[in-house]
């Protein structure tokens, strides 16, 4: 009887794993459709409608697979009795004297490995604060109150002090700070090649737009238009890269490093039209300069050479 129950339980687990795989495949299909966009569709007026229909069909398939997975998951109950631990549970039962402590030593080894991970996290956190350009990947050993602190809710005096410190650290960029709202500073960054508008909320960078030096980004009445994009394809590509950098340099446990690292990274675009690609060693590729800057090394790459 126990063998039949175990077999039935195993079959249900196998069905659940198959449904999980089906959900992953359907979700992957959705992202593939979004990445490909409308490039592979035949030209015509129905191009956008067909793209939306394909994405909708993929989402329907995701919902169907999720429903099937929930049904299979509800039918699985944990097995009664003791939990089978495999051979590790039998280690401590060996009657040989020199092997009776093997299980306790194994547990002690796991505890030491956890301590090593914690120590590595502490040293990694110190390294992160010393190198502002590299995105911190660990959040260990951080004050819980600081984790819960919203970067958009810092006091105005503290925000101004951090922004002013970041502006002073930038040597090749001219930065002007505006405040159209009390907690929404706007940074107007200017160099000999480009103009950048950085919209912030507290210490949280919400949007970045890069334009050419000749594009003032003004409305018809002469006011600043912080949402107006560049008309040049080169700076549209760079704006997409800036949005990636905005996410890369965001770290909720240390938001004061975001603006400083972002401005230092923007300085690399002073050579937008003069630097060669590090991979193909050419200035132009398909009529475009190297618009991609590596987020860690700041080396220039063409969009197709970045991988």
Q: Taking the alpha carbons of 254, 260, 266, 271 in that order, is the dihedral positive or negative?
A: negative
| pLDDT (0 to 100) of residue 15 | 87
Which pair of tokens denotes residue 192?
């000999």
Pull the structure tokens for residue 74. Answer: 């509800």
pTM for this prediction: 0.51
State how far the Cα of 267 lies from the Cα of 258, in Å rounded to an integer. 15
Beta bridge partners of residue 188, listed in sequence order? 176, 197
- The pLDDT, as a whole number, for residue 266 is 93
**Under 8 Å between Cβ of 125 and 141:** yes
Edge-to-edge strand order for the sheet containing 174-181? 174-181, 184-190, 194-201, 204-212
Print burial letters for 232-246: b (CB count within 10 Å at least 16), e (below 16): eebbebbbebbeebb
What does the CA dihedral 67, 68, 69, 72 come to, rounded to 10 degrees? 120
Q: Which residues of the chain carry a pLDDT beneath 50?
A: 1, 83, 134-148
Count of CB atoms situated within 10 Å of the CB of 253: 18
pLDDT value of residue 74:
82
Residue 236, pLDDT score = 93
At CA 95, angle to CA 94 and CA 98, rounded to 5? 85
């Amino acid at each position: 009887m126990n063998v039949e129950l175990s077999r039935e339980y195993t079959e249900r687990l196998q069905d659940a794993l198959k449904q999980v795989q089906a959900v992953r495949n359907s979700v992957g299909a959705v992202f593939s459709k979004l990445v490909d966009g409308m490039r592979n569709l035949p030209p015509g007026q129905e191009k956008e409608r067909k793209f939306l229909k394909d994405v909708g069909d993929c989402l329907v398939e995701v919902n169907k697979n999720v429903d099937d997975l929930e049904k299979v998951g509800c039918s699985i109950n944990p097995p009664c009795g003791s939990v089978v631990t495999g051979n590790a549970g039998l280690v401590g039962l060996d009657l040989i004297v020199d092997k009776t402590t093997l299980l306790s030593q194994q547990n002690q080894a796991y505890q030491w490995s956890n301590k090593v991970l914690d120590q590595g996290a502490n040293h990694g956190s110190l390294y992160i604060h010393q190198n502002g350009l590299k995105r911190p990947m660990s959040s260990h050993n951080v004050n819980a109150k600081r984790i819960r602190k919203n970067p958009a809710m810092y006091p105005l005096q503290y925000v101004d002090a951090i922004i002013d410190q970041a502006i002073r650290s930038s040597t090749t960029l001219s930065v002007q700070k505006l405040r159209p709202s009390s907690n929404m500073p706007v940074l107007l960054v200017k160099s000999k090649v480009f103009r950048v508008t950085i919209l912030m909320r507290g210490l949280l960078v919400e949007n970045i737009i890069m334009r050419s030096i000749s594009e003032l980004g003004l409305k018809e009445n002469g006011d600043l238009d912080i949402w107006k994009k560049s008309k040049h394809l080169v700076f549209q590509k760079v704006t997409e890269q800036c949005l990636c950098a905005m996410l890369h340099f965001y770290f909720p446990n240390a938001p004061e490093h975001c603006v400083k690292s972002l401005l230092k990274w923007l300085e690399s675009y002073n050579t937008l039209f003069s630097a060669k690609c590090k991979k193909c060693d050419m200035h132009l590729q398909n009529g475009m300069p190297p618009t991609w800057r590596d987020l860690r090394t700041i080396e220039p790459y063409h969009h197709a050479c970045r991988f």
